[in-house]
A and B are shown apart, each in its own frame.
Chain A
Amino acid sequence: MSDYSYVRTDMLPQKEPPVSTVGPIGWARTNLFSGVFNSVVTVLMLALVIWILVNLLSWVFTPTWAAQSLSECREIIAALGKEHGACWGVIRERWIQLLFGFYPSELYWRPILTLILLFVAMAPILFSERVPRQLLYVSAAFPFLAPWLMWGGTLWLPLMVAFGIVIGYAVLKVLSPVIGTLGGTLAAIILPILCWVFAAGPVAQGLHGIIPVGIQGVESRLFGGFMLSVWIGVVAIGISLPLGIVLALGRQSDLMIVKYMSVGFIEFIRGVPLITLLFVASTLLNIFMPPGTNFDIILRVMIMATLFASAYMAEVIRGGLAALPRGQYEAADALGLDYWRAQRLIIMPQALKISIPGIVSTFIGLFKDTTLVSIIGLLDPLGLSGSIRADANWNGIVWELYGFIALLFFLSCFAMSRYSMHLERKLRTDHR
């Protein structure tokens, strides 16, 4: 027997990896100082970032919150011995105005409530797996409640508008078996429109005379600030969704005339800048309407923003339709579903779900674009910043206002874009 005593019988304990490859040091070595060039770049960039941060923070942290005017700010800054400093007094004095414009201050709860309701109404659509389905009733009521809360007036008007839709549904159910699907659909479209145009106003007036239920009316010209941006964005996206679906279906359709009309509309709207459409709203829309009609400017802007958004929405939904496998269409045909049933039961639920990230992106784009209304004289945050600067106390203030507005936009758009990215990851079903 040979002697195996020199062979170890137990394993050596595992050694710690070298300090330079793990922990913060290892991380820094691989990610920041992985070579001479990288190290130099890192140091230079670090110096730049620190320089910017030091200057910016020293500018931001200036105790000028209580100042009543720009000159008072300058005195405070001079007393501190600083060369530059922010003048936050203007934000303290005007932040409410930048958020709500000239909306009556005792009614601020209404836009806030509308915003909360908006989130509640969106919840069943955006977080369908985590909230009860009963919230869908709020989603259904929101389109009628929100304008009433924002503009006020009698409760009978939104009820009459909702009644018009009930009429349409009833007509569809009752008449379709009698005069056929197409006739029933036509009647279900025409009757509610007649009801809205001719009956809704007078009947609501009459009912309000009998049982006055309503809240104080607020004129459109008092709308302003961040609230106006959100409101234009929400209304335009909300109405453009059904319009966009119709346009997208029209563009995909086999009917040549319908297809060319849809393509023409979409490409025209997408080919011109939004500002030209806003000029149409401010100068031309009243000329296009029958003599005597007079929409106020905010309503006109909303109409044009809706048309604008619907063209982009149509493209987003077309993308969703195109992303559906052909088998889905063929399966619907094989089940013997007609066009509209196939769309309603098979195609649209899937296509719309795929399109949600695109819809959110369209909303972000439109929301940012609402700043353009300041060019035609509406008082969105950017328009208000001009009128604040016209105040003798704050004449010459620039960075604080722009910074505040930019921060508001950044926070909301960044949150939405992150949500949209999360959704995109969730909806991605292909395994890459």
Chain B
Amino acid sequence: MSTETQAPEQRAIGESRGDRIRRVLTSRVASIVALLIAVLWTVPTAGLFISSLRPEDDIRASGWWTVFTNPTFTLDTYNYVLYSDSQGGGLIRNLVNTVVITIPGVIVPVAFAAMAAYALSWINFRGRNFLYIAIFALQVVPLQMALIPLLSFFSQGLHIGDVTIMPSWELEGVNTIVQVWIAHSIFGLPLAIFLLHNFMRELPGDVMEAARIDGASHSQIFRKVVLPLVTPAIASIAIFQFLWVWNDFLVGRTFGGGEATRPLTAVLGDMAGTWGFGWTRLPAAAFIAIIVPLVVFLLLQRYFVRGLLAGSVKG
């Protein structure tokens, strides 16, 4: 991404006047189109941000663009949605849920994926290729296919005929969050394994060979050679998974139990869906959910892009 090619305009030599006019014109049009896209992609978010800082009565009465002539700002709405005991408030609880869900929701699948990817790339065993292709194919299976049975697996356990293989988990209250951890770990695995496998396979074979000759075992090679070498890859996959878990609505809403234990995005999604009483508080509530991943995303964009390119250019 860092290699900037020279602008084509600087390299045109010996062109006729007509060519020149045409080139300047297309470059003008190009500038305008590029600028237009950039603006269209930014204004809606800026509008929501401005709205989130306006008094609720103002939001109801006029559009956010009126702040340029009539600037009134307040943090009251943020205060209300986070801490109020009244309806539509107290979202701090759901924000904490999101944090509590996200940490294991990232660590567990990435750790398990790293182990699996190592075995798939550097341990020889029969059926390795088949297993890898199966996991690769699972990436594309819509998680909708798993929702109903997985939820009943948690609530009713697993029975084949009359034989109980796994009893009901009977998770209640805060403990329902465990379901969300497991669901996120499962759904995050295929992509994480695929990406990490791509990175691990690229590691030089001589390094592994040398370590093996020195008497290192597989688990030593994994910990001392492979993991340090793929740390950037793990970082980019962790960012992927972080964004996915933090921003997720479907899994949190389905497995998150009652409203008190659901993550912030799931509560917001329902609030937006009904658009009932208190819609004027949505901009502030939404921004609380948006700001953390946005900051992470901006700061760590380089890693994110690397993972994106590794995953897509090869896949």
- Do A and B make up one complex? no
A interface residues with partner B (beta carbon < 8 Å): none
B interface residues with partner A (beta carbon < 8 Å): none
